[in-house]
Amino acid sequence: MRVVGADGEMLGVLDTPEAQRLARDAGLDLVEVNPKAYPPVCKIMDFGKFKYDEKKRSREAKKRQTQVELKEIKLRPKTDDHDLDFKLKHVRRFLEEGNKVKITCRFRGREITHPETAQAQLDFIRDNTQDIGQVEVTPRMEGRTMTLILAPQTKVVQRTKRPAQSSQPDQPQDTDQETAPAP
């Protein structure tokens, strides 16, 4: 097996008992890193510390990860213009927060004979959110509902992340000027 030392240096191809003896002498473990290689690659390391560091890295990565939610706005074909403006404000707020938005227009009774009214509403919302959102799924009929899914544009998501990072208290900066006491 090919053996890599604790400090990263290549020790060469050794037989298993010799590699185990080197690891034991160093007070470390012999860990198989790549079993599919020919010859298999093993590394001399502290396995407990390796697992701890790996867990710590995954925790840090998970902490930096942002969870994108899918918010839903429900409309009807008879939704009035003022109400539609209010729904548009909600859609814009959700997109600015970095969430995806699913706009659903549900038809009841004979309303389904006029899908163009729902299409017009969804087009209105799409057109008024083009600066901060992009269409992920175009408007389409699914049974008695017409849906549109909008996702925030990448520049909007980056803008929302920046204030969250700067919300930490600022450290006082050292200045060379002495401040005079107030009279």
Residue 171 vs residue 13, higher pLDDT = 13
Residue 178 lies in a domain: no
Q: What CATH number corresponds to the domain at position 154?
A: 3.30.110.10
- Quick check: 50 pLDDT over 90? no
Please check whether residues 52 and 82 belong to one and the same domain: no
Coil, helix or strand at residue 21: helix
Q: Are residues 53 and 74 in the same domain?
A: no
52 shares its domain with 76: no
Domain count of the fold of the chain? 2
Residue 81's SS3 state is helix
Q: What does the DSSP assignment read for 49-68?
A: HHHHHHHHHHHHHHHHPPPP
The residue count of the chain comes to 183
One domain, residues 41 and 102: no
C-alpha closest to that of 2 among 117, 47, 12, 68 = 12
Find the distance separating the first CA and the last CA of the chain, reported in whole Å.
78
Asked whether residue 136 carries a pLDDT value surpassing 60, the answer given is yes
Both 44 and 119 in one domain: the answer is no
pLDDT in the model for residue 150: 92
Burial tier of 39 (Cβ tally within 10 Å: 0-12, 13-18, 19+): exposed
The better pLDDT of the pair 125, 159 is held by: 125
The rounded distance, in Å, linking the Cα atoms of 162 and 54 is: 28
Residues 106 and 137 in one domain: yes
pLDDT per residue over 63-73, tens digit each?
887 777 889 99
Any alpha helices (H) in 27-114, and if so which ranges? 47-64, 81-96
Q: Quick one: pLDDT at residue 148? A: 92
Residue 178 has pLDDT above 60, yes or no: no
**Distance (Å, whole) CA 112 – CA 106:** 9
- Are residues 148 and 116 both part of a single domain? yes
Q: Per-residue pLDDT for 159 more than 80?
A: no
pTM over 0.85: no
59 and 78 fall within a common domain: no
Return d(Cα 123, Cα 80) in angstroms, integer.
15
pLDDT of residue 9: 85
Q: Is 110 exposed, middle or buried (0-12, 13-18, 19+ CB in 10 A)?
A: exposed
177 or 121, which is more confident: 121
How far is the C-alpha of 59 from the C-alpha of 17, rounded, in Å? 36
How confident is the model over 17-43, as a mean pLDDT?
88
Q: The domain containing residue 56 runs over which residues?
A: 2-63
Report pLDDT digits (tens) over 83-105: 999 999 999 999 888 889 999 99
Q: Indicate whether 100 and 138 sit together in one domain.
A: yes
Contact yes or no for 73/114 (Cβ under 8 A): no
pLDDT at 147: 93
170, part of any domain? no
CATH number of the domain bearing residue 56: 3.10.20.80
